């Protein structure tokens, strides 16, 4: 064989390390570029709305092309969760998603030895595409949960803005989970999340999926819900099914049967997913940049969603009611036991994203 595995891996490492230099943090967390969207674009319009619509909660369209009505906010604090990056105003979701996060946070304490969850982006008040960070998260049925445990105290709003993401990967190795950072409690939290019937997919870095394939000795029935994806090394992304009765929600096919520890995973460990796009041939026209998504590209109902009347206030639309909305001033109900896994080392950006054209 002219091109052995070891050589392939060395090549991949070089490619990905080079790609990482230009990349910012993990895909899905922070967009590398934040071009100002044009005023008529869907990002501009949906990003400018600060409150959800009144009325019943309805996801409209698809996870990566849609919007929502009647969203509720995850309270910034609960006994077993803290919402992060509050300035982004992305704590909004379908009540089914918010309820699931609350349940996961409680069950995590009970069954996974996880002291509480840090919740990242869910969706904008009326969903829709965002300025940065995500292709999906548009209909209130996607949410990011950090792999960093909740500390046993309330963080200030400033701390929630600035707490760095902690990757689960080894920074000097190709697609390898760092054994000094990864823990069984994280594995248990993932499988707990996958155990809920309404959870359809959980996106994790391919290295994390591989780690789970190699080490999970419990029931593997739901392991197939863990889907390898770029980024997702400092957080995981939970996607739930269209809730019952959500007629305007476009469902996604269920994951294939089996644990997913197969060819579809092995592909991530080949050069293919990491190769930078081919530069145009000399003399050829450079490819057009993708067209900005306009409101008219979304399902028709989304234009009306933008125009619909707002709820009175963020407090009024907070899940659990206005009292839940003011919980920030209170201490955690029960100080959760310190994470047995101990403090996490802080490591820098890692080769986990598709390299941009050099
Ligand atoms: Zn996400």
Range of the domain at 160: 56-269
State the distance from the centre of ligand 1 to the C-alpha of 302, rounded, in angstroms: 21
Does 101 fall in a domain?
A: yes
Domain contains 240: yes
Distance 288 CA to ligand 1 centre (A): 27
Strands 199-204 and 226-228 turn out to be: parallel
Question: In 3D, which of 11, 2, 9 has the Cα closest to residue 207?
Answer: 9
In a domain, 99, yes or no: yes
Tell me the CA–centroid distance for residue 205 and ligand 1, in Å. 12
pLDDT score of 7: 42
Kindly state whether residue 164 falls inside one of the protein's structural domains. yes
Question: In the predicted model, is pLDDT for residue 253 greater than 70?
Answer: yes
Q: What pLDDT, on the 0 to 100 scale, is given for residue 357? A: 39
Q: How far is the CA of 238 from the centre of ligand 1 (A)?
A: 7
Residue 236 to residues 168, 174, 187: CA-CA distances in angstroms? Answer: 11, 19, 11
Average pLDDT over residues 202-226: 98
Distance 226 CA to ligand 1 centre (A): 13
Give this prediction's pTM.
0.84
Is 309 contained in some domain? no
C-alpha of residue 314 to centroid of ligand 1, in Å: 23
Expressed in angstroms and rounded, the spacing between residue 133 Cα and the centre of ligand 1 is 8
Distance 136 CA to ligand 1 centre (A): 7
Output the pLDDT for position 354. 53
pLDDT of residue 277: 83
Neighbours of 125 (CB within 10 A): 24
Q: Which residues have their alpha-adjacent CB atom under 5 A from ion ligand 1?
A: 28, 144, 237
Average pLDDT value for residue range 239-259: 96
User: Ligand 1: distance of its center to the CA of 2 in Å?
Assistant: 39
Q: Record the tokens describing residue 40, joined without a space.
A: 């008529």
The residues pairing with 228 across neighbouring beta strands, listed in sequence order, are 204
What's the angle, vertex CA 205, arms to CA 204 and CA 206, rounded to 5? Answer: 110
**Alpha helix (H) residue ranges in the chain:** 5-22, 42-47, 95-107, 157-162, 184-195, 206-215, 263-266, 301-307, 322-325
Strand-pairing partners, residue 237, are 144, 203
Q: Ligand 1 centroid to 7 CA: how many Å?
A: 33
- According to the model, what pLDDT value does residue 351 have? 40
C-alpha 343 – ligand 1 centre gap (Å): 24
CA of 285 to the centre of ligand 1 (A): 34
What's the gap in Å between 123 CA and the centre of ligand 1?
9
pLDDT digits (tens, 9 = 90+) for 290-338: 888 999 999 999 999 999 999 999 999 999 987 777 655 444 444 334 3
Q: How far is the CA of 144 from the centre of ligand 1 (A)?
A: 5
In this predicted model, what pLDDT tens digit does every residue of 170-182 receive, in sequence order? 999 999 999 999 9
Q: How far is the CA of 251 from the centre of ligand 1 (A)?
A: 17
Question: Taking each helix axis from N to C terminus, what angle separates 206-215 and 184-195, rounded to the nearest 10 degrees?
Answer: 90
- What is the CA(4)–ligand 1 centre distance, in A? 35
- pLDDT, position 133: 77
Report how far ligand 1's centroid is from the alpha carbon of 49 (Å): 20
Using an 8 Å Cβ cutoff, are 243 and 59 in contact?
A: yes
In a domain? residue 231 = yes
CB neighbours of residue 148 within 10 Å: 20
CATH number, domain containing residue 88: 3.30.1380.10
Mean pLDDT over the full length of the chain:
85
- Ligand 1 centre distance from Cα of residue 18 (Å): 24
Evaluate whether 118 touches 149 at the Cβ level (below 8 Å). Answer: yes
CA distances from 63 to 123, 155, 161, 298 (A): 11, 31, 26, 11
Q: How far apart are CA 187 and CA 100, in angstroms?
A: 18
Q: How far apart are CA 238 and CA 59, in angstroms?
A: 16
Compute, in angstroms, the gap from residue 37 CA to the centroid of ligand 1.
21
pLDDT of residue 40: 79
Interval between CA 236 and ligand 1 midpoint (Å): 7
347: nearest Cα among 25, 85, 22, 12? 25
Does an H or E element contain 229, and which? none
Structural domain contains residue 20: no
Cα of 120 to ligand 1 centre, how many Å?
8
Q: Give the Å distance between the CA of 121 and the centre of ligand 1.
A: 7
Q: Ligand 1 centre from 283 Cα, in Å?
A: 39
Q: Is residue 245 part of a domain?
A: yes
Say what the pLDDT of residue 21 is.
Answer: 27
Tell me how many domains the chain contains.
Answer: 1
pLDDT of residue 204 exceeding 80, the answer is: yes
Q: How far is the CA of 239 from the centre of ligand 1 (A)?
A: 8
What's the gap in Å between 282 CA and the centre of ligand 1? Answer: 37
**pLDDT tens, 324-334?**
776 554 444 44
């Amino acid at each position: 064989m002219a091109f052995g595995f070891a050589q392939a891996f060395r090549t991949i490492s070089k490619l990905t390390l080079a790609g990482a230099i230009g990349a910012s943090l993990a895909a899905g967390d922070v967009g590398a570029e934040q071009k100002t969207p044009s005023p008529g674009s869907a990002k501009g319009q949906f990003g400018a709305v600060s409150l959800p619509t009144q009325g019943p909660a309805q996801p409209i369209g698809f996870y990566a092309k849609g919007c929502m009505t009647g969203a509720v906010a995850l309270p910034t604090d609960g006994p077993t969760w803290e919402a992060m990056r509050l300035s982004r105003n992305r704590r909004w979701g379908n009540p089914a998603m918010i309820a699931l996060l609350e349940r996961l946070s409680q069950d995590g304490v009970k069954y996974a030895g996880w002291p509480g969850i840090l919740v990242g982006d869910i969706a904008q008040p009326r969903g829709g595409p965002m300025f940065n960070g995500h292709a999906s998260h548009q209909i209130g049925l996607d949410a990011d949960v950090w792999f960093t445990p909740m500390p046993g105290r309330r963080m200030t709003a400033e701390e929630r803005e600035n707490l760095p993401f902690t990757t689960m990967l080894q920074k000097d190795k190709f697609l390898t989970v760092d054994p000094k950072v990864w823990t069984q409690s994280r594995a248990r939290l993932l499988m707990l999340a996958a155990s809920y019937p309404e959870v359809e997919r959980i996106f994790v870095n391919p290295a994390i999926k591989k780690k789970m394939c190699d080490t999970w000795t419990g029931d593997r029935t739901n392991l197939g819900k863990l889907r390898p994806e770029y980024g997702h090394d400092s957080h995981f992304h939970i996607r739930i099914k269209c809730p019952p009765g959500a007629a305007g929600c476009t469902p996604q096919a269920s994951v294939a049967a089996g644990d997913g520890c197969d060819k579809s995973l092995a592909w991530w460990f080949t050069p293919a997913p990491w190769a930078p796009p081919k530069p145009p041939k000399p003399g050829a026209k450079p490819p057009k940049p993708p067209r900005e998504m306009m409101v008219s590209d979304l399902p028709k109902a989304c234009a009306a969603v933008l125009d619909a009347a707002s709820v009175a206030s963020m407090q009024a639309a907070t899940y659990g009611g206005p009292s839940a909305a003011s919980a920030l001033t209170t201490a955690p109900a029960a100080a959760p036991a310190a994470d047995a896994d101990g403090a996490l080392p802080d490591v820098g950006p890692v080769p986990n994203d598709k390299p941009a054209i050099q």
